[in-house]
Structure 1
Amino acid sequence: MTESASVGTADVDADARALASTVRIRILRLCLDEPLTNREIAQRLDRNPATVLHHVRTLVDRGFLVAEPTRRGTRGSREVPYRATRKSWRTPGGPGMSRVLIDTFLEEVALVDPQDVQTTRLGVRLDAAGFEELTARVAELFEEFAARAPTPDGTPYSLFWAVHEDVSRRTGT
């Protein structure tokens, strides 16, 4: 392996490790539409600011968050707001990423009135070509909405999509 390939692999691994935390994924979501300070992030997550700062620094170091110009807080203190760069959308996760995203989804959806959560569950039986078509079309739809400029006064929504083999429906095993 060449040195540049080794550095590239190290960067991918470091990015995957940075995203391997429900807290960090939630921080990225919070800072998607508006820059937030460490204190504001900690309040919204109901976490200790020192713990949150560790996660924020990891995300900044890996380029998932960017510091915006310093501002003065309510008591005149210096505050640094952070904004998500959307790098996580283009970054492949590590082997446990699906579990982290599921756990993050469960944490976030637990904060919402169940009547306000729209869900759909569907069982299908597809060949390889049908499965490829399904995943490509869903990916295309997600890409389209990810590229769309946010509506400034719009309501923020979160989308979660998962597909898995339904092992309980296997035949002949």
Structure 2
Amino acid sequence: MSFDKTRRPATEQEARALASALRLRILRLCLDRALTNKEIAARLGLNPATTLHHVRTLVATGFLAAQQERRGTRGAREVPYLATGKSWTLDVYGAGVEGSGQAMIEAFLDEVRLADPAEPRVSRLGLRLDKSQLQELRDRVAELLDDFASRPRASEGEPYSIFVAVYPDRSRE
């Protein structure tokens, strides 16, 4: 999700790669720890062959980077993959690819279902905003998220995810 006008517009290929909830979840899994295709598949409860297709797409578009090859427990060659952070630098909405927003919502729902119901701190707010207030809200949210995204990762910290959606509330029209 991008509220920030300074993000580079995604190419059609990049936007298509990110228009998949499964690929977004793979990026999240590999955010700060390199995982092999087999490890990714196990965490997602999928067949490694299915996962490999998605991993290859993310590598080809620069969202995942192969790390140094290693040997597995039985001596097999394993390639771990790490997210590059590129997705945060792109605006996917101008690429003309359907499904980007829906993929983010589906990835969020899949991830939040795994959380302890007492754990997520959620808030919901209804507002009436004019165009300048809406832009101010978007700019301030983008500034806050960009600030935290640019900070060095705390190696001892717990992993957290943030999902923000600003949308027209058609139910109150």
Same fold (TM over 0.5): yes
CA distances 1:46-88 after superposition (whole Å, capped 9, x unpaired): 1000000010001001110000110011111110000000111
Q: CA deviation at 1:163?
A: 0.8
For the aligned residue pairs, the C-alpha RMSD in angstroms reads 1.2
SS in 1 for 2:42: helix
Q: Which residue of 2 aligns with 1:103?
A: 106
Flag structure 2 segments of 5+ consecutive residues without an equivalent: 1-8
User: Is 1:135 matched up with 2:134?
Assistant: no
Q: Which residue of 2 aligns with 1:42?
A: 41
Q: Which residue of 2 aligns with 1:5?
A: none
Q: Which residue of 1 aligns with 2:159?
A: 156
Indicate the percent of aligned positions where both proteins have the same amino acid.
56
Q: Which residue of 2 aligns with 1:55?
A: 54
Q: How does 1:1-173 map to 2 (within 5 A)?
A: 12-93=11-92, 94-170=97-173
Aligned residues: 161
Question: Greater RCO between the two (CA within 8 Å, min separation 6)?
Answer: 2
Q: CA deviation at 1:95?
A: 3.4
TM-score, normalising length: structure 1: 0.90
More helix by share: 1
Larger Rg: 1
Runs of 4 or more off by more than 6 Å in structure 1?
none
TM-score, normalising length: structure 2: 0.90
Q: CA deviation at 1:126?
A: 1.2
Q: Which residue of 1 aligns with 2:5?
A: none
CA distances 1:102-137 after superposition (whole Å, capped 9, x unpaired): 010000001111111111000111111111111100
Tell which deviates more after alignment, 16-25 or 91-100. 91-100
Flag structure 1 segments of 5+ consecutive residues without an equivalent: 1-8
